[in-house]
Structure 1
Amino acid sequence: MEPDAMSALTISDTLATTTDSLQLIELDHQGILGIEGPDAVKFLQGQVTCDIRDLASPVSRAGAQCTPKGRMLSSFRVLQSQPETLLLRADTAMLEAIQKDLGKYIVFSKARLSNRSEHYRLLGITGAGAAKYVEEISGQTFSGNDAWLKYRQSFFIQLDEQRVECWLASEDAVQLTSQLGTRTTKAPANSWTLATIRAGFGEVYPETRELFTPQSLNYQLVNAINFRKGCYTGQEIVARLHYKATLKRHMYRVTFRLPDGFSLPTPGAGIVDAQGKTLGELVVAAVDRNNTAEALVVVPDNQLEHLYLAQHPEIQLTRLDLPYLIPLENDH
């Protein structure tokens, strides 16, 4: 969801989103940016945290674009659809900023940027067996997480066995949407946000530009930073945090109760301790069933027991497991 829509969501007007069935979710809050030309790979390689040279495998990669001080300007997922074409998926509210940020540097390269969102319909499939379901439809097999399949002119990306992104080309969209809908139940965008939270993957929204480092969102733990790829904007700071610093803050998954009529906290909302001292920030939140919500928050590793929402200090956050382990010392 776009942050504006997210802030309007309440427990009472959101569908229950925890189910074992396959869900088909319209991702109209996301869009596609195209980077095309002989220098497309070389150009983006010098701008982002992930290794663009990996994409020829073919795999997709999550990554971030940073300021020279190592703060995240944006987050995305990217794949190489053709030798001289990269497709970068990001939140629609961020696309214009990403295009502007990259546009400052692309003038020196034989490459061009274009908003390709109108050429794709983006869907998500969640639930047990999501990847197998797509394999049945396409007649192909994923090689693992982050791998993608091309079917007709469209792309299916396995994030994990229970989450698949579908980038449907305009000419395929009607027929493939119908096929994907045969054994799935339609669900709101909140369901995708909730599944992403449970996967422990945080992204940047307009409210949180330049707020987080890649490490504070655990990007080193989800293969969204390559520390051997060479130089890119912000690389010196990101590498220094990895090799020479002890990370004392990470992103954690939490749950909390919200009374009926309360709005979800928006990205960047403050997290405080019992005395009201600011400890960190909320990355994203989504509604679950039974008057509860889940969120990702960035807070100190040694202060996980007494966390509260700054806007609603009566609401305590309870830590939940992530699908990966967070090291509590230097990430060497």
Structure 2
Amino acid sequence: MSDPLAPPVFVSLSHLGILELKGKGAATLLQGQTSAQVAHANGNFAPLTCFCTAKGRVLANAQLWKVAEDHYRLMLSRDLLDSLLAHLKKFAAFYKVELRIAQEISLIGVIGEDAGHQMAQALEVSLPDISWHQAQSASQDAQMLRYPGLQPRWLACIPQAGIAALAAIPQASISQEESPWKLLDIQAGIAWVTSAQQDQFLPQMLNWEALGGISFKKGCYMGQEVVARAHFRGQVKKRLARAKVTTNTSIEPGTPVYDETGKSRGQVVVTAADVQGNIELLAVLATNAIEEELSLNIEGYPVSLLALPYPVERLDPETLVAH
């Protein structure tokens, strides 16, 4: 198999999409619904966040950034855009907020320093060098957001009118194969919930507080009481784990992970092929299966647990926005 991180280094991220919020009450609406402290989305820092049910289960996890006064964008799994839009519309009329799925915006994964500088120059955007921070064009239409990973990488948010700017990149070609970006997400310990996993996990089961995606210092939001109780009482019995399976057989999200006795210990959330053609993945597993290093398998293939690039402990986003 070819190296998934070889050129082209511009990757079309069609599995992700943008939900836009505009209006005087946009920040207030978001503040009551999302785990982020909305004031942290200040045009520089672009926090991770999530939306939950009243029982604290994740409806969608997302990245939030501010485009202009009273104008925000949420990036999340494309197949959750309609359901999150419907959820937020229940409250939008009270806050005089316009919600829409921004179909005209393209999301491009940019991998490597050279590719980052080329894209930034084409979009006339400065290049952010700190993870979860953003920079945008003078027109406020295009943004570049820095992501963590084993290679330098950015997410470029480009309106349809700006796609022509890619012609300025020498020999630029945009791959339609998302695996390189998904692999870097997996290696960074980042899992984006899809419709198949909606309403199944507490945010902590996705390590969302370890990524700075939950503010425990803000006021109430939907599901906050359950999320806070699980954190302060230590009631999270499942966690996101990184793993590898030596096979080139496709493994679908939702596939159970079993121990040697045949007992289910969790499920796969996202997968991607690595350089050798094997499968790297993130799975939500019982914490005792991780801590006791149980012998695990997926469809009979042995599972090797890999280290996450961050400690599984609370990371307050207040420390990240300070950068």
Q: Does the C-alpha gap of structure 1 residues 282 and 114 become closer, same or farther in structure 2, counting only changes over 3 Å?
A: same
The separation in 2 between residues aligned to 1:256 and 1:110, in whole angstroms, is: 49
* 1:38 paired residue number: 24
Deviation at 1:91, TM superposition (A): 1.6
Equivalent residue of 1:117, what SS? coil
1:93 is displaced (CA, Å) by 1.0
Q: For the Cα contact (< 8 Å) 2:64–2:73, is it kept in 1?
A: yes
Tell me the residue number matched to 2:159.
Answer: 169
- In the alignment, structure 1 residue 230 sits paired with structure 2 residue 229: no
* Aligned match for 2:250, one of 263, 273, 289: 263
* Amino acid corresponding to residue 78 of structure 2 in structure 1: T
The C-alpha deviation readout for 1:208-257, integer Å capped at 9, x for no partner, is 01111100100101111111111100000111112122533211110102
SS at match of 2:94: coil
Partner Cα distance (1:96, 1:181) in 2: 36
CA contact (8 A) 1:31 1:90 kept: yes
Spell out the pairing of 1:20-99 with structure 2 (5 A cutoff): 23-99=9-85
1:16 aligns with 2:3: yes
How big is the alpha-carbon RMSD for the aligned residues of Structure 1 and Structure 2? 2.3
Between 177-186 and 145-154, report the one with greater CA deviation.
177-186
Answer yes or no: is the 8 Å Cα contact 2:107–2:158 preserved in 1. yes
> Structure 1 residues 130, 71: CA separation in 2 closer, same or farther (over 3 Å shift)?
farther
* Partners of 2:190 and 2:13 in 1: CA distance: 16
1:21-56, Cα deviation, whole Å (9 max, x unpaired): 671101122221111110001101110111111112
Counterpart secondary structure, 1:28 = coil
> Given residue 74 of structure 1, which amino acid in structure 2 is its aligned partner?
A
Residue equivalent to 1:8:
none
Helix, strand or coil at the partner of 1:233: coil
CA distance in 2, matches of 1:245, 1:40: 33
Greater Cα offset, 122-131 or 146-155: 122-131
Are 2:243 and 2:281, in contact at CA under 8 Å, matched by a contact in 1? yes
For structure 1, list consecutive stretches of 5 or more residues without a partner in the other structure: 1-13
Residues 33, 95 of structure 1: 8 Å contact kept: yes
In structure 1, distance between residues paired with 2:8 and 2:173: 5
Tell whether the 8 Å contact from 2:21 to 2:73 is kept in structure 1 after alignment: yes
TM-score normalised by length of structure 2: 0.87
Instruction: Output the CA distance in 2 between the equivalents of 1:124 and 1:331.
Output: 26
CA positional deviation for 1:140: 2.4
Contact 2:41-2:66 within 8 A present in 1 as well: yes
Equivalent-residue separation in structure 2 for 1:139 and 1:168 (angstroms): 11
Mark the CA change 1:29 to 1:331 in structure 2 (over 3 Å): closer, same or farther. Answer: closer
SS in 2 for 1:193: helix
8 Å Cα contact 1:246/1:331 also seen in 2:
no
Q: Alpha-carbon deviations, 1:138-160, whole Å to 9, x = none?
A: 46242622111112431111123
| Cα 1:243–1:129 shift into 2, 3 Å | farther
Q: What is aligned with 1:209? A: 198
Shift of 1:264: 2.4
Deviates more, 1:143-152 or 1:234-243: 143-152
Report the TM-score, using the length of structure 1 for normalisation.
0.85
Preserved contact between residue 22 and residue 130 of structure 1 (Cα < 8 Å): no
Partner-residue secondary structure (3-state), 1:215 = helix
| Cα pair distance change 1:250/1:170, threshold 3 Å | same
Q: Is the Cα–Cα contact under 8 Å of residues 130 and 164 in structure 1 kept in the other structure?
A: no
Contact 2:196 2:254 in 1 (8 A): yes
**Is the partner of 1:216 in helix, strand or coil?**
helix
Matched, 1:121 2:106: yes
2:311 maps to 1:325: yes
* Matches of 1:22 and 1:322, distance apart in 2: 27
Distance 1:300 1:232, change over 3 A: same
Residue 180 of structure 1, CA deviation: 4.5
Describe how 1:293-308 pairs up with structure 2 within 5 A: 293-304=279-290, 305=293, 306-308=295-297
Aligned length: 308
SS in 2 for 1:108: helix
Aligned position for 2:268: 282
Partner in structure 1 of residue 185 of structure 2: 196
- Of 61-70 and 48-57, deviating more is 48-57
2:49·2:213 contact (CA, 8 Å) conserved in 1? yes
